[in-house]
Chain A
Amino acid sequence: MDKIDFLFVGVGGQGVLTASRLISHVGFKSGYDVKLTEVHGMAQRGGSVESAVRLAKKVHSPLLSKGDVDFLVSFECLEAARYLEYLKPDGKLLVSDEMLSPLPVISGKAEYPADIMDKIREIGFDFELINASKLAKDLGNPKTINIIMMGLLSKYLDISQEVWIESIKEFLPEKLHEINIKAFMLGRQVS
């Protein structure tokens, strides 16, 4: 592919930035030009978080264009819906089935739209929905959801497993290598 655009979305604290930084590192090691944008500040107090990664021979804008993104990876269902308009009609949507209550739900003013993924399907988007939070819990570290999702994503990319594993090692602190490599492999094997 001459360009690959990724959008990672979720809720503050879910490890969205770690995921996007990891894939940009993987892209860099594979010889792509790379741009990544991230949201800091207010959004980190449990707000909606997005981070975009663009790989190509030469990347100009760090910002994505709506309707042109190849992979939308969401760590939370409602967030998948919020950013859906970025995805190409034939793009890939990967979702972890977490449902985290936003403020209107927390304060009892609204209900979480539990059928949101069905609605996304009705529009015509194909997606892979996995129970990453359970997988992560079974693995013994609920914080590995993001790396499990990266394993899942890796199935669709023409990048060798070695580059991924090397990148995880270069990127994360040593004491987290083993668990995250396991998480990555787990995501890669989900079917």
Chain B
Amino acid sequence: MKKIMLGNEAIARGAWEAGVNFASAYPGTPSTEVMENLKKYKELYVEWAPNEKVSLEACLGASLSGNRSICSMKHVGLNVAADVLQTLTYTGVNAGLVIVVADDPGMHSSQNEQDTRYFAKMSRAIVLEPSDSQEAKELTKWAFEVSEETDLPVIIRSTTRLSHSSSIVELQDRVEAPKKSLEKNPEKYIVLPANARKLRVNLDNKVKKALSLFESTSFNKIEGDGATGVIACGVAYEHAREAFKYASFLKLSTTYPLPKSLISEFVVRFDRVYVIEEPDPFIADEIRAMNLGVEVIGKEVFEPSLEMSPDLIRKTLFNVEAPKYDLPVLPRPPLLCAGCPHRGVYYALNQIRLKKKDLYITSDIGCYSLGALKPLGATDTTVCMGASLGMAAGLAQNLKSDDGIKVVATLGDSTFTHSGLPGIAELAYNKAPVLAIILDNRTTAMTGHQGNPMSGIRARGDEVEPIRIKKVLKGLGINHIKVVDPIDFKKLQKTIEKMLKLNEPCVIISKKPCVLVERAQNVKYFVDEEKCKGCKVCLNVACPAMSFDKDAKKVKIRADLCYGCGLCVDACLHSAISQL
């Protein structure tokens, strides 16, 4: 049977067909749908882990128990899991272990553009790169065998355009993997230096074994007999097929370790080869280092930060310009939903700033990152998950004598359990005078509303007791904790002002469900045209339900979009907004 499948869905299907028994992930665009699709299969255990490191460790545990396991994450998730990966290649696995890592060239929804293959090279983990959904399924299936044969973890390296494109896939049945027995092998799994040295020697042998598989696999293939030589991998291969009309292609599906004999066999046929890959010239640099006497043109000639595409190839290599029209197009950035509970917090903080109170507000990664956009423009930093707390600690310690500026950290509930706990310990232990505000909207909203330990909702929808956040904070040594509903932002504002005076580590839990999870409010607000002076001050709350009617010179609220949070009522200086 054939079906149209999203790249991530096909990866999940491949794992299922390979008889995977255990899946653990932390969400992150563009990887999230791997787990969302694995959840649809009943034969395996699935879970959301608190972060990527834990999910990879859980997979290693599952592998030792004798079960095939898979975890998935976005590229920056591998930074969190890197500590595990760098030694996991030494220990190796028992049952096959596959790590799906989705890179985001062009940064559609990420803070950076790191190329996962450098991590793989550093740790000597295997990398397979599919170019469409069919291959995503096939390579994932094969990855479990490769992992078992080589005693290495295998990374399925995807990119946004593979993960979020759909194409036709031929479905097959699940084959239960033969159950392996629980492995107890101290020389392999206890990496004390004496063992680690032996494992390090063996690591090179394992990579050699992988290499011999990859020199002969039919997943790497030479196609066409044109006069131009093109080497490509991943979805960039498909772009190359489209942009180079008359060429010979070497399509690589195994990008670490690289099948160097196959590559030289292909490359020496030409004076010059093009290597089409993204985001970095990883393969191109490796080929240059092989010194084959052939010119290698790679990603370095493309403008950085742009996603690879047939258009980009034509523009960069063949000087073909795409059409451009001069139209008055306004940007349409994403913004916080009408009634979003995060808006109340940033609005309250801005109100405090208006009273000439100098605040430095660190933020984190989640829907609330959008609080940085004007006109809210409330936050000063967003770096990586959990950074709001560590950075706030450093800021506060250094600003101490410099009174006046108060440091506030804002982070979401999922971010808190992902990497916020050590940050809280830092505040308490080192007595950093920071006010941390946990934006507890009872979900991991940005990535599509997954449950997390703070909400207690698990991957298959069942619920457990959520983390008792007040107890946790107290236990970590925070003495001032308040829980506030951000819809009552006057109370919130007062609480913030009080806490800021303490000059001690303190935490406010702003507790209100995301409007897409729980549509509790149903009152509507409207603007009284008589009273509205058209001053636009209320538009500073940046609510998508509100807009300025330029003919009437009044603000309007669209009743179908208004959630009824009431924030705009306070923002209006002329009492023009009230309940419908």
Is B truly associated with A?
yes
Residue ranges of A at the interface with B (Cβ–Cβ < 8 Å): 11-12, 21, 24-25, 28, 33-48, 59-63, 65-67, 78-79, 81-82, 84-85, 101-113, 116, 119-120, 123, 142
CB-CB nearest 7 A-B residue pairs? A41-B109, A66-B322, A47-B334, A45-B334, A108-B536, A102-B332, A41-B29
Q: Tell me whether B336 is interfacial, beta carbon within 8 Å.
A: yes
Q: Chain B at the A interface: mostly helix, strand, loop or mixed?
A: loop
- In the assembled complex, the Cα of A39 lies from the Cα of B331 at a distance in Å of 16
> Considering residues A104, A106, A112, which has the most beta carbons from chain B within 10 angstroms of its beta carbon?
A106
B327 near A116 (CB under 8 angstroms)?
yes
Q: Mark B7-48, 1 if CB is under 8 A from A, else 0.
A: 000000000000000000000011011000000000000000
B375 & A107 in contact (Cβ 8 Å cutoff): yes
The minimal Cβ–Cβ distance linking A61 to chain B, given in whole angstroms, is 4
- State the Cβ distance, A15 to closest chain B Cβ, in Å: 15
Of all chain A residues, the one with the shortest Cβ separation from B314 is A65
Q: Which residues of B contact A123 (CB under 8 A)?
A: 325, 327
> Please, which residues of chain A bring their CB within 8 A of the CB of B328?
81, 113, 116, 119
Among B81-89, B165-173, B290-298, the stretch that binds chain A is B165-173
Judge if B309 is at the interface, Cβ distance under 8 Å.
yes
Contact call B164/A108, Cβ cutoff below 8 A: no
Q: How far is the CB of A53 from chain B (nearest CB, A)?
A: 9
Q: A61-B242, A116-B328 are in contact. Are A36 and B166 (CB under 8 A)?
A: yes
Docked-complex contact B322 and A67, CB < 8 angstroms:
yes
Query: Are A85 and B167 also in contact (CB < 8 A) when A40-B29, A47-B334, A61-B241 are?
Result: no
CB-CB under 8 A from A111, the residues of chain B are 550
Q: Which of A25, A42, A102 contacts B330 (CB 8 A)?
A: A102
Query: Which residues of chain B are within 8 angstroms of A82 by Cβ–Cβ distance?
Result: 329, 332
- Contact check, B327 vs A119: say whether CB atoms are below 8 A apart: yes
B52 → A minimal CB distance (Å): 17
Chain B CB count within 10 A is highest, among A11, A59, A63, A113, for: A63
Q: B4 touches which one: A28, A38, A60, A66 (CB < 8 A)? A: A28
Interface set, chain B 219-272, CB cutoff 8 A to A: 235, 238-239, 241-243
Using Cβ atoms and an 8 Å threshold, which residues of chain B touch A33?
A: 167-168
Residues of A within 8 A of B547 (CB): 101, 105-106
Segment touching A, from B455-463, B537-545, B572-580: B537-545
A65 engages B329 (CB within 8 Å)? no
Q: Which residues of A contact B29 (CB under 8 A)?
A: 40-42
Bound together, the chains give a CA A11 to CA B334 distance in angstroms of 9
Looking at B366-374, B474-482, B489-497, the stretch in contact with chain A turns out to be: B366-374
* Contacting residues, chain B, for A11 (C-beta < 8 A): 332
Contact check, B109 vs A106: say whether CB atoms are below 8 A apart: no
B residues 321-347 near A (Cβ < 8 Å) are 322-325, 327-337
A85 touches B334 (CB 8 A): no
Which single member of B30, B109, B165, B331 contacts A103 (CB below 8 Å)? B331
Q: Is there contact, CB below 8 Å, between B167 and A41?
A: no
Give the residue name and chain of the A residue nearest to B375 (CB): A107
Expressed in whole angstroms, the Cα–Cα distance for A109 and B331 within the complex equals 12
Report which B residues bind A (CB closer than 8 A).
2, 4, 29-30, 32-33, 108-109, 132, 161, 164-168, 235, 238-239, 241-243, 309-311, 314, 322-325, 327-337, 367, 370, 373-375, 446-448, 536, 539-540, 542-544, 546-548, 550, 560
- On whether the beta carbons of B322 and A35 are closer than 8 Å, the reply is no
Residues of B within 8 A of A66 (CB): 311, 322-323
Q: How far, in angstroms, from A106 to B243 measured CA to CA in the complex?
A: 40
Would A41 and B375 count as touching, CB distance under 8 A?
Answer: no
CA distance A65 to B548 in the complex (A): 36
**Cβ-neighbour of A105 out of B33, B314, B548 (below 8 A):** B548
Q: Is the CB of A60 within 8 A of B165?
A: no
Q: Report how far A171 CA is from B311 CA in the complex, Å.
A: 32
Instruction: Tell me the bound Cα distance from A113 to B330 in angstroms.
Output: 9
B539 surroundings in chain A (CB, below 8 A) = 106-108
- Chain A residues near B332: list those with CB within 8 A: 11, 46-48, 78-79, 82, 102-103
Given contacts A41-B447, A106-B542, A108-B539, 17 further A-B contacts (CB under 8 A): A11-B332, A34-B168, A36-B167, A37-B166, A39-B164, A40-B33, A46-B334, A65-B309, A81-B328, A85-B323, A102-B330, A102-B333, A103-B331, A103-B332, A109-B375, A112-B330, A113-B328
Residues of B within 8 A of A102 (CB): 330-333
- Report the separation of the CA atoms of residues A48 and B333 in the bound assembly, to the nearest whole angstrom: 7
Nearest chain A residue, comparing its CB with the CB of B447: A41
The distance in angstroms between the C-alpha atoms of A120 and B239, with both chains bound, is: 30
Contact B109 A42 (CB under 8 A): yes
Contacts A45-B336, A102-B332, A116-B327: A60 and B242 contacting too (C-beta < 8 A)? yes
From B131, which residue of chain A is reached at the shortest CB distance?
Answer: A60
Known A42-B334, A66-B323, A107-B374: A59·B167 in contact at CB below 8 Å: yes
B481 to chain A, nearest CB (A): 30
A44 to B560, CA, bound (A): 18
9 contacts between A and B (CB under 8 A): A45-B334, A46-B334, A46-B337, A47-B334, A60-B241, A65-B314, A85-B323, A101-B547, A111-B550
Q: List chain A residues, Cβ under 8 A from B310.
A: 61, 63, 65
Task: Select one of A41, A59, A67, A103 contacting B108, CB under 8 A.
Answer: A41
A99 to chain B, nearest CB (A): 10
**A residues in contact with B33, CB < 8 Å:** 40
Closest residue to A125 on the B side, CB-wise? B325
Which residues from B are CB-within-8-Å of A67? 322-323
